[in-house]
Structure 1
Amino acid sequence: MKSANGIPLRVGVFGLLGSGNLGNDGSFEALLGYLRSAHPDAVVDALCGGPEIVATRYRIPATRLHWYRGEYRTASRAGAIAGKGLGKLVDAFRTAAWVRRHDVVIVPGMGVLEATLPLRPWGFPYALFLLSASGRLFGTRVALVSVGAAAIRSRPTRALVRWSARLATYRSYRDTLSRDAMRAMGVDTARDEVYPDLAFALPTPPASTPTGRPGPVCVGVMAFSGGNDDRARAEEIYRRYLDGTTRFVRALVADGRPVRLLTGDEVDAQVVAAILDAVDSPLVTAAETASLADLMKEMAAADSVVATRYHNLLCALKVGTPTLALSYAAKSDALMARMGLDAYCHPAREVDADRLLEQFRALEQSAADVRRTLTERNLTTTRRLEHQFTALTAAVFPAVQAAPATDHTHDHALRETP
């Protein structure tokens, strides 16, 4: 893809990529697949959390998102506090200079407009605001693609998120709840669309053939301690989640079921270690996963999945494995409802092992029907994502006349209702 003067267009990708979160990296991989297929001549680089990993794994140039390397560590000493403060000023100039070098900058998926997990306004929200403001200043098109959003109570965070969205050239959301949340925060969403999460565009591994015998259960865990408004109760929430999940795994082992523990972020390793130590059974093992592709392979080989992290749920649903959500935010409930499994949600804040076991057994009894439902919903999801990529090309790559990726007679039927 080239600009009008024949020079390849420069496309930047922005986010907490290469930082240990498999969901973020999976959305990035899906976007790269689109760019390399639809715009193969584009020159792509990234401003991200883990530039060394991104550069090595995806073979594109990458720049560190924050000048100050201790950005996400708590600053208690004067030197660290000063370093963080100076870093905010330096990042304003660094981000502006990086944005200015590009024709288009894309933020691929991720919950960049929400605070469902602990978040400080001067961390990523500030970085995202710098991105959108720089794009508006220099005429670089900024696209927020299939992103997650949620209502935010903190005024500074809400203001930064609102202006980040307002200043972007293009916005789409991964669920209707996200679009509604941005509208409630004062963003005009009249032209914004809802599309599935970008990770649904990743290749799907083949599912295992049911043997008729009880098989392995994948349990996706999370270092869950509540959201941004739960800081005072964080330890209590974490302990309750860990205890309930451990009891559930112990009950599966008592039934003779092999259990594979899965994670979605490096911080989840502490939960895996605690469960392995508490249950102490050869039936419980931990999978080593470095990507959403690895997660999907594990889940495709399982009879069923019980998972907490959003992208763990997504992977299980994508491969068509019967799935039960330990839901920690409305986005998880919305995803399960979208895929026809809203009856199989359990609150992560109040894990009741006995009730969870009942829901799990009901899920397995309905496994055949659930698999058929997921097959149908995944077909619709694939068509919607094809339409998303066509719309993205038209919106932020106006010099390109893209071939239609979908039969546009279906557009009205596929469009999300407000």
Structure 2
Amino acid sequence: MTSADETPVRVGVFGLLGSGNLGNDGSLEAVLGYLRAEHPEAVVDALCGGPEVVTARYGIPATRLHWYRGEYRTASRAGSIAAKGLGKLVDAVRTAAWVRRHDVVIVPGMGVLEATLPLRPWGFPYSLFLLCATGRLFGTRVALVGVGAAPIGNRPTRALVRWSARLAAYRSYRDALSRDAMRAMGVDTARDEVYPDLAFALPTPRASAPSGPSAPPGPVCVGVMDFHGGNDDRARAEEIHRRYLDGTTRFVRALVEDGRPVRLLTGDECDAPVVAAILDAVDSPLVTAAEAASLADLMKEMAAADTVVATRYHNLICALKVGTPTLALSYAAKSDALMNRMGLDAYCHPARETDADRLLEQFRALEQRSAELRRTLAERNQAAARQLDDQFTALTTALFPATDHAHAHARQETP
């Protein structure tokens, strides 16, 4: 409770939220759950990519991250180039004004310190730098909570990311590789901790009973991605995409030939053309597509499956969280690290070199160990839940010291 003479803590959440990426929104949902449970007195709003979606879905006021609405479209005409340049100046003022109104700003999860997908320095890296710099300027505590990081080759992007991390008041990472990457960039990570991804804190739907030995094989969820390689793969992006799409399509066709129902899943609005291409190429009633609007929807689909094969990082998290044996079409080291943490490191396949025959071989080996792997996942999920409790306790201590003291005092007085 907040007494009459106290001002509620003003908390902002920041990022590409409400923009169609289910993983980003899942991280936001986890942090909002923590705030509502542990700091119900806090007044929360967002500076984000899709303010209308965030307000409608999560019930908090939201402001658009960029003044220029064409920020993430390629600027080719003089007018659009000028508008984008002007937008950078306007965004500096808008971000500073928004940050100044808050006591705390949380960047919830997401790969905000990496460039494993195509990224320009003047896009989100610039926005994150503005946030962290103005937070330091105005005394607003900026927290990068459970974020992902990776080595960055592009010098301007690397510089912006490095300074953003240095200026933040609090940092934690979703895997050890992320912390190592920031240390290699010159950030002092001695006090930074590693915890499971924030999405592991979301509620878990009840899993369906796995198929028995005499039952017919159950459905397979295949999570696809509009994958063109990473930031350093631009020269061969189309070649990488064609190989990924061809290999995934051939794999789905092989499952159908074995009589397996296949459920196609996405994790971002941009993945829809990949689903359409596979449906068109395979053309079988056994292949259907799900319309998931949240990580909760994805988890429900995956809980009903015998096995999951997925590319997007948060598709993998959803599958692992519900305890379904999973094979990763891995496009970055973060996917390999996640699979290793959950005890399934033997079941990773490189997305850049998708080979349908090898993928099918790994899939069959995975299914042979299904019962054993479900037990492993149950144990690892329990450990992840405990570690995320520790993450939220640490976050309260770092960002809400007065509230943390009050909570501790209340616990001491409880008989």
Q: TM-score range by the shorter chain?
A: over 0.9
How far apart, in 1, do the equivalents of 2:401 and 2:41 lie?
A: 15
1:42 aligns with: 42
How far apart, in 2, do the equivalents of 1:35 and 1:288 lie?
A: 29
Pair 1:289 & 2:285 matched: no
Q: 1:309/1:403 Cα in 2 relative to 1: closer, same or farther (>3 Å)?
A: farther
SS at match of 1:399: helix
How far apart, in 2, do the equivalents of 1:126 and 1:42 lie?
A: 28
Preserved contact between residue 247 and residue 353 of structure 1 (Cα < 8 Å): yes
How far apart, in 2, do the equivalents of 1:225 and 1:296 lie?
A: 25
Q: 2:403 aligns with which of 393, 400, 413?
A: 400
2:379 aligns with: 376
Letter in 2 for 1:323: T
SS at match of 2:152: coil
SS at match of 2:402: coil
1:416 aligns with: none
How far apart, in 2, do the equivalents of 1:79 and 1:173 lie?
A: 40
Pair 1:246 & 2:246 matched: no
Letter in 2 for 1:30: A
Pair 1:232 & 2:238 matched: no
What whole-Å deviation, never above 9, does each CA across 1:249-280 have from its counterpart, x for those lacking one?
A: 00000000000000000000000000000000
Preserved contact between residue 99 and residue 131 of structure 2 (Cα < 8 Å): yes
Letter in 1 for 2:76: S
1:148 aligns with: 148
2:84 aligns with: 84
Q: How does 1:209-228 map to 2 (within 5 A)?
A: 209-212=209-212, 213-228=216-231
SS at match of 2:403: coil
Letter in 2 for 1:215: G
How far apart, in 2, do the equivalents of 1:404 and 1:38 lie?
A: 9
Preserved contact between residue 390 and residue 402 of structure 1 (Cα < 8 Å): no
What whole-Å deviation, never above 9, does each CA across 1:268-310 have from its counterpart, x for those lacking one?
A: 0000000000000000000010000000000000000000000
Pair 1:270 & 2:273 matched: yes
Letter in 2 for 1:380: A
Give the deviation of 1:403 after TM superposition. 8.4
SS at match of 2:66: coil
Q: 1:172/1:46 Cα in 2 relative to 1: closer, same or farther (>3 Å)?
A: same
Give the deviation of 1:400 after TM superposition. 1.2
Give the deviation of 1:44 after TM superposition. 0.2
Letter in 2 for 1:278: A
Q: How does 1:89-108 map to 2 (within 5 A)?
A: 89-108=89-108
Letter in 1 for 2:130: L
Q: 1:398/1:64 Cα in 2 relative to 1: closer, same or farther (>3 Å)?
A: same
SS at match of 1:324: strand
Letter in 2 for 1:208: S
Give the deviation of 1:223 after TM superposition. 0.3
Pair 1:367 & 2:370 matched: yes
Letter in 1 for 2:298: L
- Normalising by structure 1, we get a TM-score of 0.96
| Identical positions, percent | 85
Letter in 2 for 1:194: V
- Normalising by structure 2, we get a TM-score of 0.96
What whole-Å deviation, never above 9, does each CA across 1:302-358 have from its counterpart, x for those lacking one?
A: 000000000000000000000000000000000000000000000000001000000
How far apart, in 2, do the equivalents of 1:104 and 1:44 lie?
A: 10
Preserved contact between residue 322 and residue 371 of structure 1 (Cα < 8 Å): yes
2:309 aligns with: 306
What whole-Å deviation, never above 9, does each CA across 1:172-191 have from its counterpart, x for those lacking one?
A: 00000000000000000000
2:411 aligns with: none
Which 5+ residue runs of structure 1 have no aligned equivalent?
406-418
2:75 aligns with: 75
How far apart, in 2, do the equivalents of 1:255 and 1:218 lie?
A: 15
SS at match of 1:359: helix
1:412 aligns with: none
Q: 1:177/1:5 Cα in 2 relative to 1: closer, same or farther (>3 Å)?
A: farther
How far apart, in 2, do the equivalents of 1:319 and 1:136 lie?
A: 40
What whole-Å deviation, never above 9, does each CA across 1:16-73 have from its counterpart, x for those lacking one?
A: 0000000000000000000000000100000000000001111110000000000000
Letter in 1 for 2:151: A
Letter in 1 for 2:22: L
What whole-Å deviation, never above 9, does each CA across 1:179-230 have from its counterpart, x for those lacking one?
A: 0000000000000000010000000000101232200000000000000000
How far apart, in 1, do the equivalents of 2:105 and 2:5 lie?
A: 20
